[in-house]
Amino acid sequence: MARPDRMPRPARRTEAEETKHREVMKVFTGLLLALFVAMLSGTIVGNALPVIIADLGGTQLQYTWIVTAALLASTASTPIFGKLADLFDKKKLLLLAIGLFSVGSLLAGSAQSANTLIAYRVIQGVGMGAQMALVQTTIATIISPRERGRYNGYMGAVMAVATVSGPLIGGVIVDTPWLGWRWCYWSAIPFSLIAIWVLHRRLHVPPSTRRKPKIDYWGAALIVMSVTLLLLWLSFVDTSFAWVSWQSAAMLGGAVLGTVAFVLVELRAAEPVVPMWILTERTTALSIVASFAVGTVMFAAPVFLGQYFQIGRGYGPTESGLLMVPMMLGVFLSSTIAGRLVSARGTWKRYVVGGITIQAVGVALMATIGVSTPLWVLGIYLALMGIGQGASMQNLVLAVQNTVSLKDMGAASSAVAFFRSLGGAIGVQVLGAVLSAHIATLLVSRLADAGIPAGSLAGGGNLDVAALPDDVEAIVRSAYGDGMDLIFLIMGVLAVIALVAAILMKGSTLRDTVDLEVKRAVQDVKSELPADDTAETGDDEGPARRAS
């Protein structure tokens, strides 16, 4: 009779799980809002930049730095705030980050010159990087890896949709006369305020176990310096100075020396920004390699697709954004579905490997496109890229979070996010340089074949294609339309590298406790209990309580 008495327990557990899910979703709404506006701010200005530069009287160099300044600040701040999350109150840090991002957005929308806009974008970028690191760390603090799969699906969908839909939203804002480019920044503020209100009321996170936290100031300074020098070099090389020059040696050499010094400091620091043992763990190291490659495709693809559709195919900003919708839908659906499957099955590797495989196929197919490729064919290729990205992106973070204790969750999560952002920053700069050189070669060749002097393209980086003579305009558009194949070919190589890294990762079963130490305690207690007692506990919480 004892067994029938215990039969109702699963029903009660299911009801409790549903109640917990509803409570988590209330908090999750605020977290997703914060994440969405942070990610969106990095891409929404893409289609608005020509209008912004014209209105503020900026130069081509300032055009680039309006994007690079925020990306640089975001990349450098991600690991720092990830580590701070392990040392201090995560809720207060998250509210501070959202507030800082809101202030940066308000100032950026009020800028009266290109230089002040760049400065305000740095403030916005710091808040953006902090939000991305803290949101992922906070989720890992309140939800176990096994349950986190379904929530990571939502988060991955929001991140990728924000990345892909940014150009579309920015194009619509710019094309709407009563809005204007300033609302590309101001539109984030209401959503940020709602996120602050929701999180202030609903979010509750466990306090840090460190009684006397020590901040690794030297490590933070060195990582910021190294990343800044690297991105500065990538931004200016081959434009302001040559590849082989004292400026290149100073910047690149400084970045290398700074990285070496950073590693030495982290090995000795009491509370390192990036614990070196995290990078030597197999799953984390391979996840970082895969995330770097996936990040390059994730951030670079929308940038170059915008050029392909607008310059190569002659579509407007809003139309270009709409043509990227298949990729956005692929990301949204696959991220949500894969997240639920991960939670249901308790494993992650098959979805990471499968997702990166599909992404690699999509990128490889994109390497065959030209100026006359049918739009429906492009839609299929973009959907494949989106499906692969959605299934793999957040599960790479989940794989790492499953291997570390709660006390190191911020550092581990932000390490993956840092290298993903770094991959995007480096990818955009390097692929942009490759594209410029490739387009220049195609233009010289095609203009010569048509008997048109290269001087017809006066204007350089500020080229207004529509203002060119018809025969020259057709050649320029064909060069941009046919020149994208090389960019996606390089992305395809990176996708294959990511696939190899994912295959080499060691698969694991997702734990159903928030902290790794709790899981180990549960296993130790269960191993000491008689078989009947272990079976009667029914879940991990009972043994965990007795162990404590």
The pLDDT tens digits for 261-315 are 988 988 888 777 777 777 778 888 898 889 888 888 887 887 788 778 877 888 8
**Neighbouring C-beta atoms of residue 354, cutoff 10 Å:** 17
**Neighbouring C-beta atoms of residue 256, cutoff 10 Å:** 13
Q: Do residues 398 and 149 touch, judged by C-beta distance below 8 A?
A: yes
Give φ, ψ of 510 to 5 degrees: -70, 130
Q: Which positions of the chain have pLDDT values less than 70?
A: 1-21, 23, 46-47, 59-61, 63-64, 145-146, 148-150, 152-153, 156, 160, 163-164, 206-214, 406, 410, 454-467, 511-548
What tokens appear for 117 in the block?
């806009």
Q: Do residues 40 and 162 touch, judged by C-beta distance below 8 A?
A: yes
Reported as half-sphere exposure (CB side, CA atoms, 13 A), residue 373 has a value of 24
What is the chain's Cα-based Rg?
A: 25
Q: Do residues 359 and 385 touch, judged by C-beta distance below 8 A?
A: yes
Q: Which residues of 164-197 are buried (b: 16+ CB within 10 A; e: fewer)?
A: bbbbbbbbbbbeeeeebbbbbbbbbbebbeebbe
pLDDT, tens digit (0-9, with 9 covering 90-100), for 75-125? 778 777 877 877 778 888 889 999 999 999 999 999 998 889 989 998 998
CA distance 451 to 444: 10
In the prediction, which pLDDT does 20 show? 65
In the prediction, which pLDDT does 385 show? 92
Ordered DSSP codes for 98-146: HHHHHHHHHHHHT-SSHHHHHHHHHHHHHHHHHHHHHHHHHHHHHS-HH
pLDDT, tens digit (0-9, with 9 covering 90-100), for 155-176? 767 776 776 677 778 878 888 8
In the prediction, which pLDDT does 146 show? 66
The CATH number corresponding to 23-204+271-524 among 1.20.1250.20, 1.10.760.10, 2.60.40.1180, 1.10.357.10 equals 1.20.1250.20
In the prediction, which pLDDT does 141 show? 75
In the prediction, which pLDDT does 1 show? 45
In the prediction, which pLDDT does 380 show? 95
Residue with tokens 């594209």: 435
In the prediction, which pLDDT does 277 show? 76
